[in-house]
Chain A
Amino acid sequence: MTLATTLDTSNPLSLQDLHHRFGEHSVLRGISLSMQVGEVLCLVGPSGCGKSTLLRLIAGLERVQQGNIAINGETIANASQHRRPEERDIGLVFQDFALFPHLSLLDNVTFGLHAAPRAERKTLALAMLTRIGLAERAADFPHQLSGGQQQRIALARALAPRPRLLLLDEPFSNLDVRLRHRMRLDTLHLLKTSGTASILVTHDPDDAMFMADRIALLRAGEIVQLGTPEDLYRRPNSPFAAEFFGDVNCLSGLVEHGGVQTAFGKIAAPQLANGSKAQVLIRPEAIKLTATGLSARVLESHSLGANALLGLALEDSALPPLQAQISSDNLPSIGAQVTLTLDLRGVFVFAA
């Protein structure tokens, strides 16, 4: 594969102002985004945020009610036109893998290759099976495979016809945790080497952080924030975004002279008006145990392996206990006195 053949001046996918309702219930409210060539975009959000509906609209399994969907600059769906899923050249990987149970692995992968000359189909499918390391099992049937292998076949089957866009709907949610970590690495390699622009829908922020070039965070049918994983973790634009990608401790206070007064001292809040209420969100790993700082007592300690989670009560404070995540190496004992400082990179201030 050469880069030149897949390079296209227009966007592999662009969505303009998509709205969708199921009866009275509005599921999508004005979704617009466009993708880069070879990009992996993750749609994340709590269940019911509309991410699966968006995927079904792009695949053509649901009709567009309002808005426009274009692939490589060519409109394939809007309120007045609807290209059928089988004519869209968009690959799909399903949560339950949806492998055809009565077809061998080879036949599953060959299924989408009916446009290729008959003689080449088997070669292409076998090449795909070789890429995912399952060539020697070509004659086996789906039920003979493990969950991870089934997932690889589902991916190979979707990629074999070289779709213009690949959609993955919660592809790892049927796998146990360890397998899931390996599968997302393998999947990412396969997506990147094939150069196919992909959209992955997940409710798991870890999957999104790991896989995505960019993440679109959805809530109630709207994109709350769109950016790189680093953006969403380090620079969340809302309390919702901050809480979605990790636990936070929540403090509140009034804004005075461009800052919020907290137990940790004044925290800058230049964007908020003086006298307004503010909430301060602190990531557990932003609370550091240091030689000097705010005094606290260790209430509880839970090992997470390499790291540990501490419950800390501040001295002379009525605040509820804070959660801190620190390295397990020098773990203080329960009841010990410690001193704390904040790493401001993990502290976010929003209007309350």
Chain B
Amino acid sequence: MMQASGVLEAARTLGASPSRTFYRIALPLARPAIAVGASLALMEALNDIGAAEFLGVRTLTVSIYSTWVNRGSLPGAAQIALFMLAIVIGLITLERWARRHQRYAASARQTRIVSPQQLRGVGPRSLIVLAWLPVLLGFVLPTSYLVIEAAKRIQFAGIEATIIRETCNTLGIAASATLLTTALAFVLAYSLRLARNSSGAHFIVRCGSLGYAIPGTVLAIGLLAPLAWVDSGIDKLAQNLLGLSTGLLISGSAAALIYAYSARFLAIGSGGLEAGLSKIPLSLDDAARSLGANANRRAGLIHLPLSRPALAAAMLLIFVDCMKELPATLLLRPLNFETLATHLYAEASRGSYESGAVAALLIVAAGLIPILLLTRYGSQKPQA
């Protein structure tokens, strides 16, 4: 709630009751923010494959996956993907529209926190329960079940070798993708700064961050054919020049996965780094220029060191997303290459969820560590 407390207080002094203030002022002002949140949630829902298939909902994502994997029809999958892309573009337009209006609504901002209001009667207790409900139902309940099942399983069978291999796979590929994505994101964000936010540069960066809105299956279907062309091109070239076959160099290896992760999660990195760089005054760039430092030297000596917190945050967020990415991984992974997420998906498909408990917990743990680190970092005073 980043709303101007002044507006709410003004409504109260004009004789509006708390509920009238909420419906007439707070809710309309929050409408753009609600639209942004809703469109993001819709995009996430579009992207999801695991939960949807597991619960037997035939979503577009599930259809794309089964059309390609079970029926082997890439054109069919591509057609569905195209339709999904249209929906995504609709959602992006909605989100952009909402953000534009959000800026308008935030123009009356005064960053003062609305003074807390003392509730009486049964109100406070029920509100506390209401606030805890999502955490309880969405996190505590499933995680406790996982912990119990995982404990049983480890007691019964110990830690399996496959889990360790899959964890290594997941960590390795997530780490490589994180490094690549963060590097690309820094280049994007820094270029935007060098171009002093010119509209052309903005457009390019926005295009680069579209990947985040595109569902993993759509992205994967879109990548399959081009990567195959590139592979056969490289193969032919190698056979002509060196007389040896390189086979499916990219699409047959984890390189395709890293490519897909980078395309999909670039927006997380570039968004975070743009925000981080924007905290560095432009006069530092000008000062460094007047002292003879060119763009590379400025990046290395000024911007990289000063945006270290933003870099770390971006890397953590990208890493978590890579760890749990499922739809694109299912379609693009090399043969017999399992990550924790695909392992879990396979167990769930077989109906043996309990066997997936350890993998599931590992993913949850990997997601929790960054959240803990970030909240700790966020509560620390930034070093001047």
Interaction A to B: yes
For residue A8, CB closer than 8 A to chain B, the reply is: no
Task: Evaluate contact between A59 and B290: CB separation under 8 angstroms.
Answer: yes
B286 touches A143 (CB 8 A): no
The smallest beta-carbon distance between B290 and chain A, in angstroms, is: 4
B302 is an interface residue with CB less than 8 A from chain A = yes
B291 interface neighbour in A61, A84, A157, Cβ under 8 Å: A157
* Other-chain contact of B290, A85, A96, A141 (Cβ < 8 Å): A85
- For chain A, residues 149 to 170, give those with C-beta under 8 angstroms from any C-beta of chain B: 157-158, 161, 163, 167
Stretch at the interface among A86-94, A248-256, A279-287: A86-94
**Residue interface mask B272-289, A partner, CB < 8 A = 1:** 000000000101101111
Q: Which residues of A contact B (CB under 8 A)?
A: 59-61, 84-92, 94-96, 98-102, 111-112, 114-115, 141, 143, 157-158, 161, 163, 167
Quick check: B293 and A111 within 8 Å, CB to CB?
Answer: yes
In the bound complex, residues from chain A placing their C-beta under 8 Å from that of B301 are: 100, 111
Q: Which of B284, B286, B289, B294 contacts A100 (CB 8 A)?
A: B284
Neighbour of A94 across the interface among B287, B293, B306, CB < 8 A:
B287
Taking the complex as formed, is B305 at the interface, i.e. its CB lies under 8 A from any CB of chain A? Answer: yes
Complex contacts, A115 vs chain B, CB 8 Å: 292
B1 close to A (CB within 8 Å)? no
A91 touches B292 (CB 8 A): no
Give the size of the chain B interface in residues (CB under 8 angstroms): 17
Q: What A residues does B289 contact at CB under 8 A?
A: 60-61, 84-86
A-B contact pairs, 24 of them (CB 8 A): A59-B286, A61-B286, A85-B286, A85-B290, A86-B291, A86-B292, A87-B292, A94-B286, A94-B287, A96-B283, A98-B286, A100-B302, A101-B384, A102-B305, A102-B306, A111-B301, A112-B290, A112-B291, A112-B292, A115-B292, A141-B384, A157-B287, A161-B291, A163-B290
- The residue among B284, B286, B291 with the most chain A CB atoms within 10 A of its own CB is B291
Contact A90 B284 (CB under 8 A): no
Assess whether B288 is in contact with A111, with CB atoms less than 8 Å apart. yes
A208 to B289, CA, bound (A): 27
Q: How far is the CA of A243 from the CA of B163 in the complex (A)?
A: 82
B283 touches A94 (CB 8 A): yes
Cα distance A95–B287 in the bound complex, in angstroms:
11
Task: Give the complex CA separation of A273 and B293 in angstroms.
Answer: 59
Find out whether the CB atom of B292 lies under 8 angstroms from the CB atom of A92: no
Residues of B contacting A111 in the complex (Cβ-Cβ under 8 angstroms): 288, 291, 293, 301
Expressed in whole angstroms, the minimum distance between the Cβ of A150 and any Cβ of chain B is 12
Q: How far is the CA of A92 from the CA of B305 in the complex (A)?
A: 22
CA distance A111 to B286 in the complex (A): 13
Q: Given the complex, which residues of A lie within 8 Å of B306, measured CB to CB? A: 101-102
User: With the chains together, A150 CA to B306 CA distance in Å?
Assistant: 19
Distance, CA A39 to CA B383, complexed state (A): 40
- Give the chain A neighbours of B384 by CB distance below 8 A: 101, 141, 143
Contacts of B305 in A (CB 8 A): 102
Q: Are B290 and A92 in contact (CB under 8 A)?
A: yes
Interface SS of chain A: loop
Q: How far is the CB of A128 from chain B (nearest CB, A)?
A: 13
A112 — nearest CB in chain B belongs to which residue?
B291
Minimal Cβ-Cβ distance residue in A for B305: A102
Interface of B, helix, strand, loop or mixed by DSSP: helix
Which B residues touch A157, using CB under 8 A? Answer: 287, 291
Give the docked Cα–Cα distance between A163 and B286 (Å).
15
Contact of A98 with B287 in the complex, beta carbons under 8 Å = yes
Beyond A85-B286, A92-B287, A111-B301, is A98–B293 a contact (Cβ under 8 Å)?
no
A158 in contact with B292 (CB, 8 Å): no
User: With a CB–CB cut-off of 8 A, which chain A residues contact B286?
Assistant: 59, 61, 85, 92, 94, 98
In angstroms, how far is the closest chain A Cβ from the Cβ of B332?
A: 40
Instruction: State whether A90 touches B290 (Cβ < 8 A).
Output: yes
Instruction: Report the separation of the CA atoms of residues A335 and B284 in the bound assembly, to the nearest whole angstrom.
Output: 57
Of A85, A88, A94, A143, the most chain B CB neighbours within 10 A belong to: A85
B303, chain A: closest CB distance, angstroms? 11
Nearest chain A residue, comparing its CB with the CB of B284: A98
Q: How far is the CA of A59 from the CA of B293 in the complex (A)?
A: 14
Q: How far, in whole Å, are A98 and B290 apart by their CA atoms in the complex? A: 12
Structural contact, B283 and A91, CB atoms closer than 8 A = no
What are the residues of chain A within 8 A of B288 when measuring CB–CB?
Answer: 100, 111
* CA–CA, A96 and B284, complex, Å: 9
A112-B292, A114-B292 as given contacts; A96 in contact with B302, CB under 8 Å: no
Query: Across the two chains, which residue of chain A brings its CB closest to B306?
Result: A102
B370 to chain A, nearest CB (A): 24
| Cα-based distance from A143 to B287 in the complex (angstroms) | 17
Shortest CB-to-CB span from A241 to chain B, Å, is 31
| Extra contacts besides A86-B291, A161-B292 (6): CB < 8 Å | A84-B294, A85-B286, A89-B292, A94-B287, A114-B292, A163-B290
Min distance, Cβ B335 to any Cβ of chain A, angstroms: 48
B290 x A91 contact (CB < 8 A) = yes
Nearest CB of A to B380, in Å: 16
| A169 closest partner in B (C-beta) | B283
Q: Are A86 and B281 in contact (CB under 8 A)?
A: no
A38 to B289, CA, bound (A): 23
- Nearest-neighbour CB distance to chain B for A157, whole angstroms, equals 7
The 8 closest A-B pairs by CB, nearest first: A112-B291, A98-B283, A92-B290, A143-B384, A98-B287, A85-B289, A94-B283, A86-B289
Q: Which chain A residue shows the least CB distance to B298?
A: A86
CB-based nearest A residue for B288: A111
What separation, in Å, do the CA atoms of A143 and B281 have in the docked complex?
A: 15
Which A residues are CB-close (under 8 A) to B294? 84, 86
A98 to B302, CA, bound (A): 11
| Chain A, Cβ-Cβ closest to B384 | A143
- What is the CA–CA distance of A167 and B283 in the complex, to the nearest angstrom? 14
> Nearest Cβ in chain A — how far from B191, in angstroms?
17
Please name all residues of chain A whose beta carbon is closer than 8 Å to the beta carbon of B287 when the two chains form the complex. 92, 94, 98-100, 157
Cα(A61)–Cα(B294), bound, Å: 13
Q: Separation in Å of the A166 CB from the closest CB of chain B?
A: 10
